[in-house]
Amino acid sequence: MGQSESAPISTIGRLKVFLVGHPLSSEQMQHERIPKWKALAVLSSDALSSVAYATEEVLIPLSLFATAAVAWSLPIAIAIACLLIIITISYRQTIDAYPGGGGAYTVAKENLGTHAGLVAGGALLIDYVLTVAVSTAAGVENVAAAFPLLFPYKAALGVLIIGLITVLNLRGVRESASIFAVPTYIFIGSFLVLIGTGSYQIFTGQFHAVAPLVHETYPTIPIFLLLRAFSSGCSALTGIEAISNGIPIFQAPTQKNAKATMLWMSTILGGLFLGITMLAHAYGIIPKEGETAVSLLSAAIFGKTAFYFVIQIATALILMLAANTSYADFPRLASLLAKDKFLPRQLGSLGDRLVFSNGILGLSLSAIFLLVIFNGDTHHLLPLYAVGVFLSFTLSQIGMVKHHMKTQHPGWKKSIVFNAIGASTTLLVLIVIASTKFLAGAWVVVLLIPVIVIVFKQIHSHYILTSEQLAIAAKRDHRPVSAVRHTAIVPVSGIHPGVLDAVRYAASISQDPRACYVELNPDFTEALKKEWTAAIPDVPLIILSSPFRSVIKPIIDYIDRVEADNRDEVITVIIPEFVARRWYHNFLHNQTAIVLFAALRGKRGIVVTTVRHHL
């Protein structure tokens, strides 16, 4: 027969160690926790990266109406900053109440019921996938703005970057945090220099502002347009919940460090967003096709000097690394859903490097799919983006209101006020986003969330039903454990050491060992029968005819006939195979063993095993 292994273990092992490092023991879990300054880089890169495109998302709908309409950009940015303050206060309370992490999923499930928790969990999973896709696409677009030759290849570059981030995250939280911290702080520093230099030029008269920061009158524009600009700018708030979801990765004291990091993140995010919007307004920046607002602003302040390219590279890096926030939270949220039996159990297991490897890989594949489908275009991806975020925000805040009412801890009335304001505000924003962006693509997320909830419930039903059936079977089956008479069948393609080992094994475990051979060449069959009688006279060789030259079907048919004749017995099929020394040698041999194993695996009452002979 053939062989089933596609590569020697040693080759796979060496490649795995090269890519992700040596396995870590469970005792090293505590050492994988990270300090605040690293956590800021890991969990805040998504929120901070939105500074690179949030201002642009406010300006685009306003500038499409009239150039004068961009006067509203700063008031809208201030409104978004106020919303940021409300959400920050609310989530700091969530950190105190649920230090185990899980964010909106845990809060909603425990306070509003399982269905609300599943809606929040599904919305967050969608958000994390979109974060990876949007952040990567935006990062590539910023690089393409400085190097236009790369623009046609942005989807391919995005896939390459996601692959690199995946490998880095598979290496573990502490190691990836050390790598990602540097670009995050370079981004913060470069944008502070950008805002500081631009403000200095205006206040010293080196540059005369195109428009005043505060207008005596503002142009009259449709309220729908204002709401659309506001909802687009709310992309600046995506990623804020990440810290409340990832509390377990902080060094002790985890709650205190998480709350401090939350405050740092919000302060930096609010300051950079308001600063960039203010300068964009003063410098008269209007986004155009092929160049981002940040690129236009930095070119206006620095010209196409070296620091302009520093800004572009720093922006591209933070946008690409913003995906890392999802890699910290998506696998952890998926593990919680898996432990509650709403996702496959494999997502709840830690890998060799003490990270949820299956969740990381699932996130990467989903994001790559989106990136390819939408050709790496952020303006096509962003309308899908904020619906899930603000849905989870709203459910989390409503859940916290109910939590305070149940616990009535000291200061609970004040806490309720903050969470109630947060819930009302985020619900309003959710309605605005869903209505203004519904036809632009938000309908996809609105439709997808209930589909995901249905999938969650189907998975849960499967696990519950399986557990019940196994428990019932265990109670009913009180037969004593004893030897079972069974027939052992060895499919063979000739006589070689692997076949001899398989036949010996069959004779050792069964009172009725048999070998079967599918006849494709009558001359070879006659020679094999003589050789078999001489070498293995005690085990009968059954010759199976195959007029249509099929190998698998005659074997399956023969096993079915044996099963029909031995209804009360077990049939063991022992497949002999040889293992090549080099993985590429496998392409030189047939894979009959793999196909036969797959064909027999689902048959009731059939035990299938292999005996390997290493060359």
Which letter does DSSP use for residue 488 in this model? E
How far apart, in whole angstroms, are the C-alpha atoms of residue 337 and residue 4?
Answer: 34
Residue 473 confidence (pLDDT): 56
The torsion angles phi and psi of 579, rounded to 5 degrees, stand at -110, 120
Mean pLDDT estimate for the chain: 83
- Per-residue pLDDT, averaged over 319-327, amounts to 78
Residue for token digits 């396995």? 23
The amino acid present at 209, given as its one-letter code, is A
Residue 418 confidence (pLDDT): 83
Residue 109 confidence (pLDDT): 92
Residue 198 confidence (pLDDT): 93
Residue 401 confidence (pLDDT): 92
Residue 552 confidence (pLDDT): 85
Residue 486, strand partner residues: 570
The amino acid present at 603, given as its one-letter code, is K
Reported as a pLDDT band with limits 50, 70 and 90, residue 4 is very low
Cβ within 8 Å of residue 547, ≥6 positions away: none
Distance of CA 615 to the CA centre of its chain: 40
Reported as a pLDDT band with limits 50, 70 and 90, residue 602 is confident
* pLDDT for residue 2 is more than 50: no
| 121 within 8 A of 338, measured Cβ to Cβ | no
Domain spans of the chain, in order of start = 9-24+35-462, 486-614
How far apart, in whole angstroms, are the C-alpha atoms of residue 338 and residue 343?
Answer: 4
How far apart, in whole angstroms, are the C-alpha atoms of residue 16 and residue 597?
Answer: 27
* pLDDT for residue 256 is more than 80: yes
Q: Which two tokens stand for residue 526?
A: 């006659």
Give the SS3 label for residue 515.
strand
Reported as a pLDDT band with limits 50, 70 and 90, residue 98 is confident
Which letter does DSSP use for residue 290 in this model? T
Q: Which CATH number fits the domain 486-614, given the four candidates 3.90.1150.10, 3.20.20.70, 3.40.50.720, 3.40.50.620? A: 3.40.50.620
* pLDDT for residue 449 is more than 60: yes
Residue 489, strand partner residues: 514, 573
> Is 601 or 397 the better-scoring residue by pLDDT?
397
- Per-residue pLDDT, averaged over 547-553, amounts to 80
How far apart, in whole angstroms, are the C-alpha atoms of residue 194 and residue 275?
Answer: 9
Distance of CA 389 to the CA centre of its chain: 16
pLDDT digits 0-9 by tens, 157-183: 888 988 888 888 888 766 667 777 888
How far apart, in whole angstroms, are the C-alpha atoms of residue 596 and residue 335?
Answer: 34
414-422 LR contacts (CB < 8 Å, sep 24+): 415/93, 418/86, 418/89, 418/90, 418/93, 419/90, 419/93, 421/86, 422/86, 422/87, 422/89, 422/90, 422/393, 422/397
> Is 66 or 130 the better-scoring residue by pLDDT?
130
Cβ within 8 Å of residue 39, ≥6 positions away: 177, 243, 246, 249, 250, 257, 258, 261
Residue 431 confidence (pLDDT): 86
- Per-residue pLDDT, averaged over 568-581, amounts to 80
Residue 606, strand partner residues: 571
The amino acid present at 388, given as its one-letter code, is G
Is the pTM here over 0.85, yes or no?
Answer: no
| 59 within 8 A of 233, measured Cβ to Cβ | no
Helix 51-65 vs helix 254-282: angle between axes, to the nearest 10 degrees?
40
Residue 108 confidence (pLDDT): 92
Which CATH code for domain 9-24+35-462?
1.20.1740.10
Which letter does DSSP use for residue 31 in this model? G
How far apart, in whole angstroms, are the C-alpha atoms of residue 379 and residue 138?
Answer: 9
pLDDT digits 0-9 by tens, 339-383: 999 999 888 877 767 678 889 999 999 989 988 887 766 666 766
Which of the residue ranges 206-220, 229-243, 589-603 would you say has the lowest mean pLDDT?
A: 589-603
The amino acid present at 540, given as its one-letter code, is P
The 10 Å Cβ neighbour count of residue 5 is 18
Q: Which two tokens stand for residue 50?
A: 């939105």
Residue 389 confidence (pLDDT): 81
pLDDT digits 0-9 by tens, 388-440: 888 888 999 899 999 989 888 888 888 888 888 888 888 888 888 788 777 77
Q: Which two tokens stand for residue 137?
A: 């696409």
pLDDT digits 0-9 by tens, 264-280: 999 999 999 999 999 99
How far apart, in whole angstroms, are the C-alpha atoms of residue 117 and residue 6?
Answer: 42
How far apart, in whole angstroms, are the C-alpha atoms of residue 183 and residue 430?
Answer: 32
